[in-house]
Amino acid sequence: MISPGLLNDSKKNSIKLVREVGLLGNFNNQTFYPDTMPGDLRSLKYEDAWKKCKTSSWFDIELDDSSLLIFKQTGYSYIRTPFSTLSFDEFSLEFFDNDPIWKEEENMHVIAEEYEQYLESHLQHQPPMPVRFDIDSKYYCEHIHPLYHFHFGIENESRIPSNRELTPISFTGFILRTFYPQEWKKFAESNELDKYLGHLKGNLNHVPKGFWKSYEKDLFYLG
């Protein structure tokens, strides 16, 4: 399991990566996830769970489309916004770009308040698509419950094996490349991608031998 120090360092690098890709909406430096969080969310519909995480500040990074990234020692989650709306930057450009005064930093909170009101009144539903990466030695079971695995979507029993232990920044890079292809393409074609490549895969720990049997190499997995 990732150490607290490495977890925090990787969180900081994740924020930098999201900012450079141009998708940063908000972030928390000292996120507190209560022990009751899984139980509090389990009974909620997807939309309500997203709202609960957002209003309770149960996230490390909020993307500019209001999707959330959550990093805990036991795994990481991408809670994709259940709504299709203008991003904060798109909203700012469309409604405030003609008046230079709104570009001044002391006025940004006004735009942020207007954006929150816009979200409440212009929400268009889109299919939920959460992604979770779990580090789960407690419930490891050969053949059906890998130590490292992905969950895609909701209300299914799928666990997609990984032979690498992801970090917050490697998970973040995977999410940005997968769900935000236009922004990622622009970023990847710049010179900025090179400085992150070592963090995205090459330095990831392989799954310990006791949790990865010899036949696994002949089965499909992510890694």
> Domain for residue 209, yes or no?
yes
75: left (phi over 0), alpha (psi -120 to 50) or beta: left
145, 210: one domain: yes
Strand spans (E) along 129-187: 131-135, 148-152, 160-161, 164-165
187's CB contacts (< 8 A; 6+ apart) are: 20, 21, 22, 176, 193
45, 116: one domain: no
- SS3 state at 4: helix
pLDDT of 95 reads 66
Task: Name the band, by pLDDT with cuts 50, 70 and 90, for residue 137.
Answer: confident
Sign of CA dihedral 4, 10, 16, 22: negative
> Domain for residue 172, yes or no?
yes
For residue 206, the surrounding DSSP H or E stretch is strand 205-206
The pTM score is 0.82
Can you tell me the distance from the alpha carbon of 147 to that of 163, in angstroms, rounded to the nearest whole number?
A: 9
- Higher pLDDT pick, 205 / 85: 205
Mean pLDDT on 139-151: 93
**Please, are residues 64 and 25 in contact by the beta-carbon 8 Å criterion?**
yes
Domain containing 100 equals 86-122
> Domain for residue 223, yes or no?
no
pLDDT tens for each residue of 83-111: 766 677 777 776 666 665 655 666 667 77
46, 65: one domain: yes
143, 194: one domain: yes
Task: Name the band, by pLDDT with cuts 50, 70 and 90, for residue 205.
Answer: very high
Lowest-pLDDT choice from 117-131, 153-167, 206-220:
117-131
The domain tally of the chain equals: 2
74, 117: one domain: no
51, 106: one domain: no
199, 173: one domain: yes
Lowest-pLDDT choice from 41-50, 100-109, 184-193:
100-109
